[in-house]
Each structure stands twice: as structure tokens, then as C-alpha cells.
Structure 1
Amino acid sequence: MDNGLHLYNTLTRKKEQFVPLHAPGVGMYVCGPTVYSDVHLGNCRTFVSFDLIFRYLSHLGYKVRYVRNITDAGHLEGDRDEGDDKFAKRAKLEQLEPMEIVQKYTLGFHEVLRMFNTLPPSIEPTATGHILEQIEMIKLIISNGYAYEINGTVYFDVKKYSEKYNYTILTNRNLEDMYANTRELGGQDEKHGRLDFALWIKAKPETLMQWPSPWGLGFPGWHIECSAMSEKYLGAEFDIHGGGMDLAATHHTNEIAQSEACNHTQPAKYWMHTNMLTVNGVRMSKSAGNGFLPEELFTGNHLLLKKGYSPMTVKFFMLQAHYRSTLDFSNEALEASEKGFKRLMAAVTLIDKLSVSGENSFDFDALKTRCLLAMNDDFNSPVLIAELFEAVRMINNIYDGKANISAEGLNKLKELVQNFVFDVLGLKDESNDSGNLKEVLDMVIQLRTEAKENKDYATSDKIRIGLQQIGIKLKDSKEGTTWSKE
């Protein structure tokens, strides 16, 4: 299928024509959350971005198997296997069983993504549900000569692997510099090399989450779960592997090494990464005190926020930046996105009120082509949104009687809005989430209309001003009165 789609491949560091391995099927694996704490905004940006990709590939006619894992095993704090067990720490802190922690934060993660109107993945496997697959992969890596066991812990041999394969192929880092810059870790003298990482970790007696294995009781390392689950559901070779850019240097680098050591082939053809978040130009982080939870953005309950913003406003804000670019949060930027999103939705609600008359004043086919070209250019949502605001201009001009639209043109316009605003971007009109607000406002507007007809302008103005004070703006035209949220 020649779709014209080009995407940036982190592996080759250039844009490439997207050619699926098994079209019309597409396999996509995205690293999901570690569910031991609330999902943070950086996670949300990644999942909103890959939801956009999932939606657009489906729009092009591909049958996409989208796999997004849940990390619910007791991994250690650091990339190099040091620190305490995350789940054990949280379970002790909240006085819960580890799987209660998993359930609590998994439900919270799903609720946040529901508020962002993302589609669920095709499969959402858990690390604890695939211990056997991870053990079998580790056994094969050992038999192929790329891992070794010491005192119940299995390590991946990076030096041995690097003799045949390029360990830094994803990041293009210098391997010798990596050895020189990697610090010695206390208690890990048993490892053959500083860059070696754990595939299986021996459990301490007090470890809450542990499983039997050929090497004794223990639990899997962080990286092996994604290699095992992506192979199980997508095969040894699949199309797209994605995640945040922070995963590339260690997690994804080690995934490639594990899969190649096991199957002698690269697991994914295209690697895609979303960029970081900043706040007023400073990188978002817990240590900087400028990190936001989604709920804090929605409620405005944060020292850096002037007010709260709706989920669709935040999603629209994210989509206004390309997934590979840095996204900077500020009150001014959020307020601008809020106005832009309301303007877009206000225009969408006018479509059913447009009057068909004469020939089209606008070329809707050309607009559709430009929308496709934007998305075909590495899923360029900012350019797509700019094209959709051209549609907003068209709608407003037609509604105001400054331009014409035919019946055929109206159908094309409706299809374009449905395809790109709702199906591809995954936006929704939040006024529909306000219970019976529409019915109440329709009744209030009718009362105001009757007051005007009776020349009771004092009541008419009182209704208009009162609605404006609670954020409802009325617009009068020859076609009647419409409303929108300010």
C-alpha cells in the first residue's frame, strides 16, 4: 500500500517511507506505565501521541495491532539494577498488597487516558502475566552465549554481544565512553562488565513479588518484559516500537540487545520517540518542583497554575506541538489553546446550521489533500490543526452569508471534520459532557427570543449578560442565536 506516509526513525535518524512488514496489518508496541504511582504528564503526552499514530494508521485502512504493556513486576529503582523494589516501597507505605497497588494505579491510568479520549490498545499485557515467556527468553539468550548466571541472578553480557552486534545502534553513542562513564555499583562486583544488566534478579527473603525459575526464586529485570511480550503478540520482527525519548538510551537499547541475542534479528523496523516536557523553559521534573499530574491541570490545584483546564484543552495543547519537539507548559500557552479549542468546536457546531446555496466558494478536496499531507509528514499534527482552522474560516464565512456551499460540498466538509477533528485527533466537544446543559440553554435562549419579540429588551439583555458572566457567550445572526463556552 503506497500511502505517502513518512515517519522519523530513531534507528536510522532520518525520515523514511512507511512500508509495513505485513500490510494491511501493522504491529505497534509502545512501552506503557510502571503502575506504582500516579501517571505523570510526560507519560500522558507519549500515550496521546501514539494514540494519534494509532488513529491515523487505522484511518489509512491498516489493521493495527497496538500493544501497550503494564509494568507491574517488582523492578528495582535504577536502570543498572540498584536501589529498592518500587512496589515493595509503595506497598509498605500504603499498607497494601503489591497487587492492590497495581490495581489502584492501573485504574487511575486508564481513567486519565479516558479523560483524554484515547482509544484502548488492542492488547494490554502485564509483566506478571508473562513470567514464563520472560524465563524462556532468558534461557535462550543464555544458550546463545549472551548471558550468564551468578548466585541466582542472570546478567546480559554486553561485551560479548558487542563483539557481533552494535549495542549503541539506537543512540549512536561511543561504547568506550559509556564504559568509562559508568560508575561502579556497590555489591555488584559479580557482574562481568559495568554495562551488563540483569535479566533475572535473585529475590531477597523479604521480597514481596517473586517467582520460581531455573536459577531460583526471583523476579525479572525491567527490560526483558517488553522483549518477551512484543515477540509473543507481534512476532520476532514487527513494524513500530515507541515510547518517550528518555527510554532510548537504556531501556530500548537493552530491548534491542535482548531480542537480537535471542532471535538474531532487530525486533522493530521503526523506532519512534516523543520529546520531553518543559515548564516555562525548564525541564519538567519532580526535583524541580514543576511537575504536573493531569488532575492538577484539570482542577488548577497547583502553585504554577492560574486556573484549571479541561482535558480536551490540554490534549489540544499537546497536539499543537509535534510529538518529536519539546512541549513547554505555561499559563499563557494553555489559555491560548483553550481559546483555540473553543473556536474550533464552536465552528464545528455551526456545520449543521449551514444553508446550502449555489456553488462552493471553497475547494474542500484541496483542503482534505493538505490535511493528509500534514499527517503523512511524520504525523504533523500542528500543521493539520492549522489546516483545520482554515476549515473554521470557511465555516464562519458560509454561516455569515459571505460564502456559498453546495449539498455535495457540505457532505465533504462534514466528512473532513469527522475524519480529522474527531477520528484522527481524537478531540471531542466537551459541551456534550455537561449533562442537560444544551437543553437548558436552548430553553433560556428561547425565553430571550420571546422577550426580544415582546420588545422586553431589559430581560433580553439580563439573560445575555447573566450567561456571559458564567462563561456562556451568545451570538445572534439572521439564522438565530447560537451559544459557546468562553
Structure 2
Amino acid sequence: MPLYENQELKIYNSLTGEKERFKPITKDYVGMYVCGPTVYSNVHLGNCRTFISFDLVFRYLKHLGYKVRYVRNITDAGHLENDAETGEDRIAKKARLEEIEPMEVVQKYTVDFHQILHQFNNLPPSIEPTATGHIIEQIELIKKIIEKGLAYEANGSVYFDVIKYNQSKHYGILSKRKLEDMIANTRELDGQSDKKNPQDFALWKKAEPQHIMRWPSPWGVGFPGWHLECTVMSSKYLGESFDIHGGGMDLKFPHHECEIAQGEAAHDKSPVNYWMHANMLTLNGKKMAKSTGNNILPKELFSGNNDVLSKSYSPSVTRFFMLQANYRSILDFSDEALQAAEKGFNRLMEAISLVESLPESNQSSLNISKWRQNCYDAMNDDFNSPILIAHLFEAVKMINAVRTEQAKITAADKVLLSETMHNFVFDVLGLIPNIDLVSGQDRNRVEKLVELLISLRKKARDNKDFSLSDLIRDELNKVGIQLKDSREGTSFTIKND
């Protein structure tokens, strides 16, 4: 029997503003879509927090026994500067500035994005589609919306008719806005736009001669609107209605609002049952911004090569720090907070390493079953990772009490304690212990295991099984063990993430 049969998960739904009991559309199966990055620059920590938050959701749903299809897109076209309707495509602009092809920009920063999330130990999504890979589907969806009378062509561009849509639906249902207020607060464009109304948004934009990224369409050469890709790819891979849609709080309006309108217009049904939004990061109490210098990239955080923090922090410690706050709350990065997280992380990992050696008794003075359910209750309450972590530190106290003979534990309870700690710390929270915490006899065992894997890798290479050889190298690197090949053979170093 899957765990979800005995656990009642509740999710805070941004659409209703309430925590609701989670009930998937299809039994045993969860469809989840998360808005991915626009790959025109190095991924920043705010983005990372969003993707770590939804990695936690993905991991917990899988832990409960659901089959999860997690779709996270790559925006590689159509996202204009400042989220506006006019101006330059962010990727095309970067390509022009660097004097390279737009797809070189896309490749460079997609690789960076994957490398950083790999260091944070994020699981890859089930499907990672791109906007440029779905141009045909986007054109077909635009045709459908035009046929419904809710979009119109103007001078080679196609716009969604918000006012007409709002006659039968509510544009603003997610962000709790009223169209009348939006209209009242909008300045007239004095005929400078092809749009009927300032609130209308682009489904397809006419490409000016200097625009690098362009595709043929029934309305002329152009490129898709930013909002459209997510509607197209989520409905293609998850269906016209699916369970969970996630993203950063900054995407609620207009991006997610436009997705709802497009989905309703095209398919005559609400596209998503549960909308989830992760909150922002601040740095030393202020908004992160490149322009003010109050900004730090993940690589700068890991290396310590920055002017903001006093030392480096490993990806696992940084991940642990982020998960100490609820995904819906603002989180402030500071030296003091990260140092406290590092100490807590080390305490937690040390306690886990001691569980197997705890003395066993015929009776237990600890209620491990109740503690275990408390851990589930925390995660069932809208993925409340800070409360879960508080319960894990209760276990640290229990472990130390048994170790110092102030408490007793049975063999069965010890197994339950060990399994629960591993399930929540490694499988659900996705933490990886720093190899530096391993010492003495355990370190010798680790080194012998690495040497064994190196010999197996050599055999694989001799047999030209390069996929296995690369897998061994990559998996070792993932846990902080770096291999170095030379003429003399293969050596390894144990690094601190």
C-alpha cells in the first residue's frame, strides 16, 4: 500500500488562498508543471530557491508513492526585456552583445543551470521541453483561440482579447485583480500599439527585420509570446487540466494569469487545480539586484569568491538553509544565518552517522512511531520543511540521549529511527553529507570503496563501456569525490562539495 493512502497532504492553493486537501485528478498519478528559466544569464539564487522548493515537492510526492510526471520548461525564445510587450528578446539581446548565435547563448546558460541544480542535488524533471521545440504547437493553439473569437491579428501580430474574455470569465482570478481597476490605472498609448486594449497580451509577435529569432506563421514571420509556451507545453505533456503548477511569486501576474486565460479560452476548462508560488530571497535584508551590487551567484557562494559573505558555503549547507524556511515566506541570506545553518547541518549529519552504533535495549523509553508521524504531519502541512527540520533535531536529541545512556531504544525502534531519518534527510530534503564529516575508520572504508569503484571504472574503459565509466565518474563527483586521470593511473580527491 502506498504511503499516500495513510497520509493526508494539504497544499496552499494560490488560486483560492486556502490550504486544500490534495486529491490528484488521476489516482496514483500526479502531473506537475513548473516554469523554468529564461536562459540568457547565469542562474541566480532566487531562481535556485524556487527550483529547490519544487524539488522538495517532487521528492515528497514520490516518497508518498505517487507516480509523478514533473515538467519544467526552458524558455529559449519570446521573453522580452522587463516582461514587456515591446522591446528586444532577452536571448537575442545577449547574442547581439556577445556577438554569438542565440542558440549559443541558450546552450551556455542551460548548461550552467543544469550544473548548478546538480550541485544542489535537485532531481532532474521528467520532461524538460523548450519553447523553440514547440513552435508548431504554439501556432496551432493560437489558431484555436482565434477560432473561439478570443484573439485577433493586427499588423502581423496576434493578441489575446482580454476584455472579450472577461465577459464570461475572470481575468485576474489568480492575482485577485479586477479588470476595471487595471483599465483605470492604464495610461492610453495614443495609437502607438496595434492592440485593441492596453491589457491585451501577445500570443504572436511580428519580427522586425533586425530580430534574429524568427519563424514563419499564418500571420507572417515572427516569434511566440512568452506566456503561450507554458500553456502549450503543460497541456501537451500533462493534459488540458492537471494537478499542480508552480513558479516564483513574481510570475503570478501577468505570466500565470495569462496562462489561465489561454487555457480557459482554448480548452473551456480550468487548466490547473493547485497553483503554488515560492517566495523571494533577500540578501542582508535588501532585495538582490545586480545594479546595486547586492547580489551573489551560486558559484560565488560555493567558492567564497565574493564581496558579500565572509566565507564559502557548500551547496548542501545552502540547500539546508533554504529549506529551514517555508517556501511561501521571504528568506534573507546573511553570513550569520548561513553559519548557524552550517552548524546545524553538521550536527544533523553527525547524529545520523551515530544511529547504527547506538546500544539496544529490551525496551524503549522513546516514542519513535509518534515522532515519525510528526515528521509526516509537517510535510503534509503544505510541505512545511522548517517544522520537519525541527522534528529531525528532536531526533538528534534522542540519539544523543541513547548514546549517553539517558534513554533506551529497542532494536526495532532503532531501525525505524534510522529509516525515517534517511528517508526525510536524504530522500525528501535531498541533503548530501559533506565527505569531510567522515573520519577515522569510516573514512578508510570510503577510500577503499572509491578505489574499488576506480578499478571497476578501469575495467569498463578497457572494455570500451564508456557509458558505465562516465556514470561512475559522475556519480562519485556528485557526492564530492573527484577523479583525476593521468598516465600513472587514476587518483581521487575528497572535496567539500
Please state which band the TM-score falls in when normalised by the shorter chain. Answer: 0.7 to 0.9
Using a 3 Å threshold, how does the CA distance of structure 1 residues 204 and 433 change in structure 2: closer, same or farther?
farther
Deviation at 1:100, TM superposition (A): 1.1
CA distance in 2, matches of 1:91, 1:335: 39
CA distance in 2, matches of 1:340, 1:374: 19
The aligned residue for residue 340 of structure 1 is 344
- Deviation per CA, 1:353-385, whole angstroms, max 9, x where unpaired? 222233222111011110010001111000000
The aligned residue for residue 84 of structure 1 is 88
Note if 1:212 corresponds to 2:224. Answer: no
The aligned residue for residue 57 of structure 1 is 61
Listed as ranges, the matches of 1:458-477 within 5 Å are none
Comparing 135-144 and 184-193, the one that deviates more: 184-193
Note if 1:406 corresponds to 2:410. Answer: yes
The aligned residue for residue 164 of structure 1 is 168
Listed as ranges, the matches of 1:319-338 within 5 Å are 319-338=323-342
Note if 1:392 corresponds to 2:376. Answer: no
Listed as ranges, the matches of 1:101-116 within 5 Å are 101-116=105-120
The aligned residue for residue 422 of structure 2 is 418
- Deviation per CA, 1:404-437, whole angstroms, max 9, x where unpaired? 2221111101110111111111111121799999
State whether residues 171 and 178 of structure 2, in contact with CA within 8 Å, keep that contact through their aligned partners in structure 1. no
The aligned residue for residue 488 of structure 2 is none
Larger CA Rg, structure 1 vs 2: 1
Note if 1:197 corresponds to 2:206. Answer: no
| Aligned equivalent of 2:239, options 232, 235, 238 | 235
TM-score (norm 1): 0.88
SS of the aligned residue for 2:70 comes to strand
SS of the aligned residue for 2:104 comes to helix
| Aligned equivalent of 2:34, options 4, 16, 30 | 30
| Aligned equivalent of 1:352, options 353, 356, 371 | 356
The aligned residue for residue 173 of structure 1 is 177
SS of the aligned residue for 1:315 comes to helix
CA distance in 1, matches of 2:172, 2:392: 41
TM-score (norm 2): 0.86
State whether residues 346 and 437 of structure 2, in contact with CA within 8 Å, keep that contact through their aligned partners in structure 1. no
The aligned residue for residue 157 of structure 2 is 153
Comparing 185-194 and 423-432, the one that deviates more: 185-194
The aligned residue for residue 269 of structure 2 is 265
SS of the aligned residue for 1:192 comes to coil
State whether residues 71 and 126 of structure 1, in contact with CA within 8 Å, keep that contact through their aligned partners in structure 2. yes
AA in 2 matched with 1:312: S
CA distance in 1, matches of 2:437, 2:95: 36
State whether residues 74 and 88 of structure 1, in contact with CA within 8 Å, keep that contact through their aligned partners in structure 2. no
Using a 3 Å threshold, how does the CA distance of structure 1 residues 107 and 183 change in structure 2: closer, same or farther?
farther
CA distance in 2, matches of 1:56, 1:189: 47
For these two proteins, the number of residue pairs brought into alignment is 444
SS of the aligned residue for 1:422 comes to helix
Deviation at 1:185, TM superposition (A): 5.3
State whether residues 80 and 197 of structure 1, in contact with CA within 8 Å, keep that contact through their aligned partners in structure 2. no
CA distance in 1, matches of 2:280, 2:402: 40
| Aligned equivalent of 2:279, options 275, 280, 302 | 275
State whether residues 82 and 185 of structure 1, in contact with CA within 8 Å, keep that contact through their aligned partners in structure 2. no
The aligned residue for residue 370 of structure 2 is 366
Using a 3 Å threshold, how does the CA distance of structure 1 residues 304 and 183 change in structure 2: closer, same or farther?
farther
CA distance in 2, matches of 1:170, 1:214: 32
- Deviation per CA, 1:250-274, whole angstroms, max 9, x where unpaired? 0000000111111111100010001
CA distance in 1, matches of 2:179, 2:264: 18
The aligned residue for residue 71 of structure 2 is 67
- Deviation per CA, 1:225-248, whole angstroms, max 9, x where unpaired? 000000000000000001000000
CA distance in 1, matches of 2:166, 2:183: 12
Deviation at 1:442, TM superposition (A): 9.5
The aligned residue for residue 248 of structure 1 is 252
SS of the aligned residue for 2:184 comes to helix
CA distance in 1, matches of 2:251, 2:446: 50
Note if 1:46 corresponds to 2:50. Answer: yes
State whether residues 135 and 213 of structure 1, in contact with CA within 8 Å, keep that contact through their aligned partners in structure 2. yes
Could you list the runs of 5+ residues in structure 2 that have no partner in the other structure? 448-495
